[in-house]
């Protein structure tokens, strides 16, 4: 008779759940799913999407969190057990044309870790299909691996939009996602301007490769209007989108990179008159992000505002929501 492992005996775990308010529970069920791997979460990051979900975005109920690094403790593929991993957050049906092409990001029946019909990473354990897991090399720290998911989202821009050394690009926003976008886009050699509200964050963007920085308050009446080939909106606010449409040149491209709960009024005349291309950009490929981290060995500690245990998850959300905050990391173990 096969002996049960230590982890198989665990039936309840700590988790930060939204139902309908955010609260820490001590007796959440272990999120086992048939034929999936069980991952012991080591650390997880709070992002803007998590903050928007708490406000009502995506109408999600359950355990939040999708930026994580963990260690596999149970798996149909026994070779994975014990390995440190990050994970693709979209789990598809496996049957539709999207899934059969190897890309479940737009599968109509997909679940999404901590966002849609799947408990997430703000817990001691999570469950994901084996193909979703990517091993983390030893040279990448836990803190750096936590950034793999938003870094993958930043890398996805280059799969959607052509940017090279001749391009004049602006990023609207100076938060944690904008900083990762800066890190990725600066590698193209383009002229890259970061537009934000916080002097210390703009200085950080220069460290991460921005060619120039600009205070958002200095935009009005400036020569920066309608001059950029590509403008990447990374504020998640209606004002950021409005500014982006004014900054991009005729027949240029605006990339919408961040989520925002609620409706926004928008004058679409600029899109029509200036023939602007608007591109929505969401999840990227995690393996590309892991390869980037292994190759570049960038110190991402500059992006970490605070590390807190899961038990202080409610305070962590308050810290993450502050305008001067960057990444807040929840430590599970």
Write out pLDDT tens, residues 23-40. 999 999 999 999 999 999
Write out the two tokens for 332. Answer: 């599970």
- Helix, strand, or coil here: 74? strand
Contact in structure between 67 and 147 (CB atoms under 8 Å)? yes
Over residues 197-219, the mean pLDDT reads: 94
What range defines the domain where residue 226 resides? Answer: 153-280
* Cα–Cα distance for residue pair 207/201, rounded to 1 Å: 10
pLDDT bin (cut points 50, 70, 90) of residue 1 is very low
Percent of residues, the chain, with pLDDT higher than 70:
97
pLDDT at 305 > cutoff 90: yes
Sheet harboring 22-29: ordered strands across?
22-29, 12-18, 62-63
- Helix, strand, or coil here: 27? strand
The pTM of the full predicted model, rounded to 2 decimals, is 0.94
Exposed/middle/buried for residue 275 (C-beta within 10 Å: 0-12, 13-18, 19+): exposed
The answer on 319 and 227 residing in a single domain is no
Q: Is 194 domain-assigned?
A: yes
The confidence score (pLDDT) of residue 223 equals 64
The answer on 207 and 129 residing in a single domain is no
The confidence score (pLDDT) of residue 6 equals 81
Q: Is 292 domain-assigned?
A: no
102 CB neighbour count, 10 Å cutoff: 8
* Cα–Cα distance for residue pair 197/207, rounded to 1 Å: 17
The top-scoring range by mean pLDDT among 155-164, 214-223, 267-276, 295-304 is 155-164
The answer on 162 and 219 residing in a single domain is yes
Contact in structure between 169 and 228 (CB atoms under 8 Å)? yes
Q: Is 91 domain-assigned?
A: yes
Over residues 142-147, the mean pLDDT reads: 96
What is the pLDDT of the chain when averaged over all its residues?
94
The answer on 158 and 253 residing in a single domain is yes
Is residue 157 reached through a cis peptide bond, with omega within 30 degrees of 0 on the bond before it?
A: no
Q: Is 318 domain-assigned?
A: yes
Contact in structure between 281 and 156 (CB atoms under 8 Å)? yes
Q: Is 287 domain-assigned?
A: no
Q: Is 18 domain-assigned?
A: yes
Over residues 281-292, the mean pLDDT reads: 96
Number of domains within the chain? 2
The answer on 273 and 169 residing in a single domain is yes
Write out the two tokens for 324. Answer: 């001067």
Q: Is 85 domain-assigned?
A: yes
Buried b (16+ CB within 10 A) or exposed e, 183-192: bbbbebebeb
Contact in structure between 18 and 62 (CB atoms under 8 Å)? yes
Over residues 307-323, the mean pLDDT reads: 97
Exposed/middle/buried for residue 213 (C-beta within 10 Å: 0-12, 13-18, 19+): buried
CATH number at residue 39: 3.90.180.10
């Amino acid at each position: 008779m096969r002996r049960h492992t230590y982890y198989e005996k665990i039936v309840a775990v700590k988790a930060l759940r939204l139902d309908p308010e955010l609260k820490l529970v001590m007796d959440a069920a272990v999120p086992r799913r048939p034929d999936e791997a069980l991952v012991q979460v080591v650390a997880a990051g709070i992002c803007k999407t998590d903050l928007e979900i708490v406000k009502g975005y995506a109408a999600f109920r359950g355990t939040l969190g999708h930026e994580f690094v963990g260690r596999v403790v149970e798996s149909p593929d026994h070779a994975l057990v014990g390995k440190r991993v990050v994970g693709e957050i979209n789990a598809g049906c496996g049957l539709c044309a999207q899934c059969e092409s190897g890309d479940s990001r737009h599968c109509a029946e997909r679940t999404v870790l901590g966002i849609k019909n799947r408990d997430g990473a703000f817990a001691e354990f999570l469950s994901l299909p084996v193909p979703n897991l990517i091993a983390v090399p030893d040279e990448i720290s836990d803190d750096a691996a936590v950034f793999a998911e938003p870094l993958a989202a930043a890398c996805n821009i280059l799969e959607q939009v052509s940017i090279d050394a001749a391009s004049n690009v602006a990023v609207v926003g100076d938060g944690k996602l904008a900083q990762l976008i800066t890190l990725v886009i600066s590698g193209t050699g383009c002229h890259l301007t970061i537009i934000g509200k916080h002097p210390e964050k703009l200085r950080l963007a220069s460290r991460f490769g921005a060619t120039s920085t600009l205070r958002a308050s200095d935009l009005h009446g400036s020569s920066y209007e309608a001059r950029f080939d590509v403008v990447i909106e990374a504020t998640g606010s209606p004002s950021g989108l409005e500014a982006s449409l004014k900054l991009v040149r005729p027949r240029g491209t605006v990339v919408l990179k961040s989520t925002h709960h609620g409706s926004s009024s928008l004058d679409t005349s600029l899109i029509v008159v200036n023939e602007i291309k608007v591109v929505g950009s969401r999840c990227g490929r995690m393996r590309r992000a892991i390869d980037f981290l292994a190759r570049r060995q960038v110190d991402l500690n500059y992006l970490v505002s605070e590390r807190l245990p899961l038990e202080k998850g409610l305070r962590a959300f308050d810290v993450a929501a502050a305008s001067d905050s960057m990444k807040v990391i929840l430590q599970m173990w």
